[in-house]
Amino acid sequence: MNKAINETVTSDFDITKVRSDFPALDQEIYGHKLVYLDNGASTQKPRQVIDKVKQYYERDNSNVHRGIHTLSQRATDQFEAARVTVQKFINAPSDSEIIFTSGTTESINLVAHSYVRAFLKAGDEVIISAMEHHSNIVPWQLLEQQIGIKLVIAPINHNGDFLFEEFKALIGEKTKFVAITQLSNALGTITPVKEIIQAAHAVGAKVLIDGAQAIAHTHVDVQALDCDFYAFSGHKIFSPTGVGVLYGKRALLDSMPPYKGGGEMIKVVSFSGTTFNEVPHKFEAGTPNIAGVIGMAAGLDYVSELGISKIANYEHDLLEYGTQKLLTIEGLKIIGDAEHKASILSFQIDGVHASDLGTLLDHQGIAIRVGHHCAMPVMEFFGVEATARASLAFYNTKEDIDALVSAITKAVEMLK
């Protein structure tokens, strides 16, 4: 794993203080203390985020841009300050390269239906991996049907490793675009995105990185990666739902046609024609999720204050502990044991259906995710219909893992 994940956990990571910042963790489910292990689906929110959203609605609620009254100016200032916060968090060259969307799904679709639709033609190839979330599969399939691009799948092995040499063998003169997850939501695999980007750029292809899972678990520097596009969602990184980010290199964004039409994305509208706004506003049609954007900035500030390296170190120890504990359960098999892995424990138990297990764990206060995790091709590759998935965050503890193992043991006894 990367250097940050291999370092020793620092002693100043105060898990008790961290947990006290998350009010949702302080509750009981069916008479049991909540153990929340569904962070891959959505993370809980610290008080700092909740309070920021509350403050906006109580004090500053107004639409942004163009308003001259005080509330609109205050809302606009916070909204645009959030853009700078995102820029700094991922080390983008300019805040104009930060586009606010509804989440990773919209960010990927924006690139697919603006950049790829405009600049690729029939026969051009788009490469994705075999471990992608549906949001990084279906948009490309739609374009395959609509404009005739060819979708090429880079393979993985049965440990869940991304096969880089096989990926490189797929790249050729027809390769025009690559869209790859940085961290698999179904397997936890960390992909070698920097090497992938370099290989794609060597043939002139552009690269989009799906950072939905990675953003909360590892340091992201879009300049160091040299990716052309980077997408992530606020709710995966302790921020509100319904808000996300697309980073794009300025020259590419300038060249792309608008994705949606409406207010904000224009300079002048007349029946003889429309002049579009500059980026990022060209891609932000309509009233945005203002409270979500402001809340997301507070979430990123919270993570920055804790330190992403400390978070990665702590979570790596927790992942190793959880892996060892789960493997003590008879008949349990972990799906996805890649050499480079983070945050995800997907598993099956012989003779136990994932849905039944999830229900029984819920009645013991344990929140996990069961199903195909919007990664049905991954399930097909491993020959399973569904897995149970415990996904970790920095507010989880070894005691949470112990509670999970104990609850699974009781559930298996009931089901067998």
Q: Which tokens is 129 given? A: 């991996």
Listing DSSP states for 79-102 in one string gives HHHHHHHHHHHHT-S-GGGEEEES
CB-based contacts of 190, cutoff 8 Å, min separation 6: 1, 2, 182, 183, 214, 218, 338, 340, 341, 342
Taking alpha carbons only, the member of 133, 203, 124 closest to residue 168 is 203
374 is catalytic: yes
> Distance between CA atoms of 83 and 294, rounded to whole angstroms?
9
Compute φ and ψ for 272, nearest 5 degrees: -90, -10
Q: Which tokens is 20 given? A: 């006290």
Q: Which of 25, 142, 147, 374 is catalytic?
A: 374
User: Measured between alpha carbons, how far apart are the two ends of the chain, in Å?
Assistant: 38
> Distance between CA atoms of 184 and 322, rounded to whole angstroms?
18
Instruction: Name the residue type at position 182.
Output: Q
> Distance between CA atoms of 357 and 383, rounded to whole angstroms?
19
> Distance between CA atoms of 68 and 353, rounded to whole angstroms?
59
Element (H, E) at 381: helix 376-382
Helix, strand, coil percentages (3-state) for the chain, rounded to 5, are 45, 20, 35
> Distance between CA atoms of 153 and 135, rounded to whole angstroms?
15
Enzyme catalytic residues: 374
